[in-house]
Structure 1
Amino acid sequence: MADFQVITRERHGLQYWLKHSTYTFAASDALCPLVAQELPKAMLSMPIGFMAEGHCYIPVAVQGLAPGQNLLVGLDGRWLVPYIPAPYRGYPFRMASTEQGEQVLCIDEASGLLSESAGEPFFDEDGTPHQSVVEILNFFTQIEANRQLTRNICLLLQQYDLIQPWPITVQGEQGEQQVEGLFRVDEMALNALSAEALAEVRNAGGLTVAYCQLLSMQHLSTLGTLAQAHAEAKKDQLAHEALAKNGELHLGFMNDGGTFSFSQ
């Protein structure tokens, strides 16, 4: 379980941090929040939807069709598509709000990426934040600033009833099942906007968000392909483990990573 703590000189002044080399920390995330700035690149790799957050909606990367499974992470921890959402690129760091409403930089102390001797220092000898930490803080500050813009865009789309439930049906072991809780842009309602409303949505950046979401839906079928590939890879992995346990594993497996690749 993650354990995010605010970075301070008292707590981390003599420690170092390491960059992650695997995305297993995201393997159970079926959804990941996105900001408007990310959507033009994200739409090229993954389906994008909206999820409800309070009385508003936020864009999310749709990474799986079942709770607790991220199909974009391979069994070996590799990220399987070109675009990586910002929260994962910034791991093991993230921003959090204090009781006073201030944004502070935190690190996941349960990530296994803190060290007493190796990696990047949190602070220089004079007690100021190390350049690497400053760069991470700037990265998250930019994302957080864009998050408010994204929220305002989604509120405008919501105002014109452009965000509607996204009916998704998947074929599971127990037959067809409905995926609940995802929303999409209503293309017909978008095309029916008055000239004045369309201009307002366009000037706010809403058309970019809307069209990125609509175009990204083509990748929904990729998740089905990945779900099947994950199941087959898991089956192969279990078979290899069983053979190894029985002492019958042939040497050819040493050249097989037990993973898979795919092209879109």
Structure 2
Amino acid sequence: MTQLTAITPDAFAQRNWQRYNSYAFAAHLHFIPALVTELSKLVPALPLGFIQHEAQFQLVALTALQPDSNLFVAPDGRWLAGYVPALLRSHPFGLARPEGGTEAVLCIDEASGLIVAAGAGEAFFEEDGQPAQSIKDVMNFLARVEHDRLLTQKTVDALQSANLIQPWALTVKHNEAAIQVSGIYRVDEATLNTLDETAWLALRRSAALPVAYAQLFSMNQIGVLEQASVTQKQLRSAPPPPSPLFRQPTPTLKDIGFSFSAEETLRFDWE
């Protein structure tokens, strides 16, 4: 579990940070929380579903059907899908509320390997103790993510209240045997189509209908997981390049015939 440390002038004035150049930190994530503001980019790239946490459901992008694996992180750390979910682009930063506090504070994962000595990378603070511009950009990005996370959860709660979330019957092959996957949910399309006018209007007012249809449309992308599994096997079995001078870049799913929207840059902005 990620351990976040609050970024304060006393603790970080003499330390710098650098941006990640690998998605290896996400290699164990078989789902990634999704936001309503990125649905148009997620639907063509990844299947969407719901997972249950305590009494609530959460909208997620699926990157594998087996825990502790991510079929879209290449062995060399490259991201293989055509879109990088917003929650990944905030690495290694996060927001957390101190116990008893009301305001969220900016934190960083000290185990990320991205904290460096002063003089390298980017500064956390200016000489006057104010956050550096790059840190302000991170804070703004995370504030927007948190706003959209709350909005997303509100729409999912509306779908749950309307009894529109049901188990998704999925299977994976292991040693030629089909194994039932549990813990992943989908929109109940049949129930959605039979809602009365009052229930339908309630969902429309809560902005939950776009989420429902996005999840249903994205189910066609479940086959992308199988293709990504094949790509992973090919990449892991390929011999190493004879020389860095002749090294070929790791192919993305787009390179092998899947056309997705591109998200190639690593930056803290909203797209």
Give the alignment's TM-score, normalised by structure 2. 0.88
Pair 1:44 & 2:44 matched? yes
The amino acid across from 2:64 in the alignment is G
Q: Give CA-to-partner distance per residue, 1:44-100, whole Å, 9 cap, x none.
A: 210110001221111011001111110111111111112111121111111122212
Q: Secondary structure at the match of 1:57?
A: strand
Equivalent residue for 1:150? 152
Q: Distance in 1 between matches of 2:209 and 2:230?
A: 34
Match of 2:246 in 1: 255
User: Is this contact kept in 2: 1:2–1:111, CA < 8 A?
Assistant: no
User: Structure 1's 251 and 8: CA in aligned 2 closer, same or farther, altered over 3 A?
Assistant: closer
2:228 is matched with 226
Residue 87 in structure 1 maps to residue 78 in structure 2: no
Choose 19-28 or 1-10, whichever is displaced more. 1-10
Task: Report the equivalent of 1:17.
Answer: 17
The match for 2:261 is none
Contact 1:236 1:258 (C-alpha < 8 Å) held by counterparts: no
Which residue is 1:246 aligned to? none
- The equivalent of 2:7 in structure 1 is 7
Matched, 1:110 2:111: yes
Q: What is the deviation of 1:35?
A: 2.0
Return the letter of the residue paired with 1:126: D
Partner of 1:35: 35
- Shift in Å, 1:135: 1.1
**Is the 2:94–2:106 contact (alpha carbons within 8 Å) kept by the matching residues of 1?**
yes
SS at match of 2:195: coil
- Name the CA distance, whole Å, in 1 between partners of 2:122 and 2:242: 39
Shift of 1:252: 7.7
Counterpart CA distance in 1 for 2:242 and 2:23 is 28
**Aligned partner of 1:187 among 189, 207, 228:** 189
Q: Deviations over 1:193-252 (max 9, x none)?
A: 111211111121101111111111111101001112212322235xx5xxxxxxxxx948
The verdict on how the C-alpha distance between 1:53 and 1:75 changes in structure 2, with shifts beyond 3 A counting, is same
Q: 1:76 to 1:127 in 2, by over 3 A?
A: same
Determine which structure has greater relative contact order: mean sequence separation of CA pairs < 8 Å that are 6+ residues apart, divided by chain length. Answer: 2
CA distance in structure 2 between the partners assigned to 1:97 and 1:182 by the alignment: 29
The Cα offsets for residues 111-151 of structure 1, whole Å up to 9 and x where unpaired, read as 11111121221111110111111111111111111222222
Structure 1: gaps spanning 5 or more residues: 241-249
The number of equivalent residue pairs is 253
SS at match of 2:81: coil
Q: Of the two, which has the highest radius of gyration?
A: 1
Would the aligned equivalents of 2:165 and 2:187 in 1 still touch at CA under 8 Å?
A: yes
Aligned partner letter, 1:113: L
Deviation, structure 1 residue 38? 2.0
**Where is the helix percentage greater, Structure 1 or Structure 2?**
1
Tell me whether 91-100 or 205-214 shows the greater mean CA deviation. 91-100
In 2, Cα distance between equivalents of 1:38 and 1:53: 22
Letter in 1 for 2:246: N
Identity %: 37
TM-score scaled by length of structure 1: 0.90
Measured in 1, the distance between the counterparts of 2:139 and 2:34 equals: 18
Q: C-alpha displacement at 1:190, in angstroms?
A: 0.9
Equivalent position of 1:243 in the other structure: none
How much has 1:3 moved relative to structure 2? 3.6
Cα displacement string for residues 178-198 of structure 1 (whole angstroms, at most 9, x for unaligned residues) = 111000111111111111211
Is contact 1:87–1:94 with CA below 8 Å preserved after alignment? Answer: no
